[in-house]
Amino acid sequence: MSNHDQVWDACLKVIKDNIPLQAFKTWFDPIVPVRLENNILTIQVPSHFFYEWLEENYIVLLKKVIKKELGSEGTLEYSIVMENNSTKSTPYTVKLPALRSNSLKNTPLNVPIQATENQIRNPFIIPGLKKVNIESNLNHSWNFENFVEGDCNRLARASGYAVANKPGGTAFNPLLIYGGVGLGKSHLANAIGIEIKEQFPTKTVLYVQSEKFAHQFIDAIKNQTTNDFIHFYQMVDVLIIDDVQFFSGKEKTQDVFFSIFNHLHQNGKQIILTSDKAPVEMQGMEQRLLSRFKWGLSADLTTPDLETRIAILEKKMYLNGIELPKDVVEYLAYSINTNMREMEGAFNTLLAQASLNKKAITMELARLMVDKFVKNTAREVSIEYIQKVVCDYFDLPIEMLKSKTRKREVVQARQISMYFSKKMTKSSLANIGAHCGGKDHATVLHACRTVVNLSETDKQFRLYLEELEKKLSIQ
């Protein structure tokens, strides 16, 4: 081991005993000793911000360990990795006599850590325009009032409301909301931000898409305003980053977000993130960042059940002051069951089509709209919808269809729903059976054969099938 490695290793042993382990891993593990000449120890740090943080927060401790290992004339210099236009990063050295025995004060920083808004460039403002206040960028139509609660989102909504009532003061920091496309992540994140602004008007809330954040960072590098960019984000009280998974593979963006995250978290500021997947499933993310995502609470949004989907549509009807036929609402809820954005899009298109063409909203018009929003719907409907149509036709509650009762009319309706589910969906026999009260694949196969046999021998039964097929068809 070289002299500079030995000296720095000895320094680290003392530092590790005097600060929290997480802080040590964050701020001292990445440091690399470069050389030791004339009692001057040079260490390489990843960025200018990294150097500023060390000087701001650990100046006293660094002075003590350097003095202990190198004597009263010991000095520390930083070699900072600085990005340039090439594909490589090159280090440059900043000579700092701050640790000499005759100078105990820290070298003044170029930009103070707690900068004021007037001292830095707001990355959201077009150059040349003056604006003091930071706009929240929140969509005020996405609030708690029109966010429909269900089993699919109860935990996320409850934790979000807790954060809104006490931002930065709960164990849910960061709050990571994750789930598939169109399940309401952005809506809930905005709702939290809006609620915070209403309860705490003086707090600075900022909502930003991850792609926007990355583009601003690139611009800051080009314009040599990286410090302004970092300090701008450090000023906010509540930071909401939407679709954080887009940071994957962007190492420098992750680095700068890591620094911002640490600063906000350590100062009791609230961080809210959304993602299309849980932290354990994110690829291309640094482990140190993923570990921070897990510090607070990760709440998932799942696909809403039928009742919640109907409630969402009824809420939209109420907010728009309109009424739709019950069968149309149920058809939309049954037919579009994975993406709520698509369901709301079909709903809005249906209203627009009826209004522009002065047509009544009917099942036929609804089927046309659904066909535009759901691929392959001309040949496939959901098992739930088939069961709904069959139960309505025979005037049976759907719970009875899924029960174990052996009443003739219920058994017949159950067999017919199995038959159409096999014919009109791509579901397996086992899946169809599971939807019909936990029946096995052999029962489903037997039901399908029974329906075929009856249709060939019973004229009335065949008429049932023909009428039901017309109701189920979306041609």
**pLDDT tens column, 387-419:** 888 988 888 888 888 888 888 889 999 999 999
Confidence category of residue 101, pLDDT binned at 50, 70, 90: very low
In this predicted structure, what is the pLDDT of residue 189? 93
Question: Any residues with CB less than 8 A from the CB of 374 and at least 6 apart, and which?
Answer: 335, 336, 342, 346
Say how far apart CA 410 and CA 405 lie, in whole Å.
Answer: 7
Confidence category of residue 372, pLDDT binned at 50, 70, 90: low
**Is residue 365 pLDDT above 50, yes or no?**
yes
* Closest CA relative to residue 342, chosen from 474, 144, 145, 184: 184
**Is residue 132 pLDDT above 70, yes or no?**
no
* Higher-confidence position of 180 and 451: 451
Contact 334, 382 (CB under 8 A): yes
Confidence category of residue 266, pLDDT binned at 50, 70, 90: confident
**Is residue 2 pLDDT above 70, yes or no?**
no
C-alpha 156: how far from its chain's center? 11
* Closest CA relative to residue 285, chosen from 296, 303, 273, 271: 273
> Domain map of the chain by residue range?
3-99, 134-301, 306-373, 383-472
Task: For 3-99, give the CATH class.
Answer: alpha beta
Maximum alpha-carbon separation in the chain: 107
In this predicted structure, what is the pLDDT of residue 107? 34
Return mean pLDDT, the chain.
79
**pLDDT tens column, 232-242:** 898 899 999 99
* Higher-confidence position of 144 and 323: 144
State which H helix or E strand residue 308 sits in: helix 306-320
Three-state secondary structure call for residue 77: strand
CB atoms within 10 A of CB 215: 13
In this predicted structure, what is the pLDDT of residue 460? 87
Task: For 134-301, give the CATH class.
Answer: alpha beta
* Higher-confidence position of 38 and 182: 38
In this predicted structure, what is the pLDDT of residue 281? 82
**pLDDT tens column, 201-228:** 889 999 999 989 999 998 888 888 888 8
**Is residue 15 pLDDT above 60, yes or no?**
yes
Give 338: exposed, middle or buried? Use CB within 10 Å, 0-12, 13-18, 19+.
middle
Architecture of domain 306-373: Orthogonal Bundle (1.10)
**What's the length of the chain?**
475
**pLDDT tens column, 274-312:** 998 888 888 888 888 888 888 888 888 887 777 788 888
* Closest CA relative to residue 422, chosen from 462, 457, 381: 381
Architecture of domain 383-472: Orthogonal Bundle (1.10)
Confidence category of residue 332, pLDDT binned at 50, 70, 90: confident
Give 73: exposed, middle or buried? Use CB within 10 Å, 0-12, 13-18, 19+.
middle
**Is residue 116 pLDDT above 70, yes or no?**
no
In this predicted structure, what is the pLDDT of residue 145? 83
Contact 203, 270 (CB under 8 A): no
* Closest CA relative to residue 373, chosen from 345, 393, 333, 407: 345
**pLDDT tens column, 457-475:** 888 888 889 888 888 774 3
Tokens 């070699």 label which residue? 79
| Residue 295 backbone class (left: φ over 0; alpha: ψ -120 to 50; beta: rest) | alpha
In this predicted structure, what is the pLDDT of residue 371? 67
Confidence category of residue 122, pLDDT binned at 50, 70, 90: low
Strand positions, DSSP E, 84-169: 89-94
Mean pLDDT of 352-368: 73
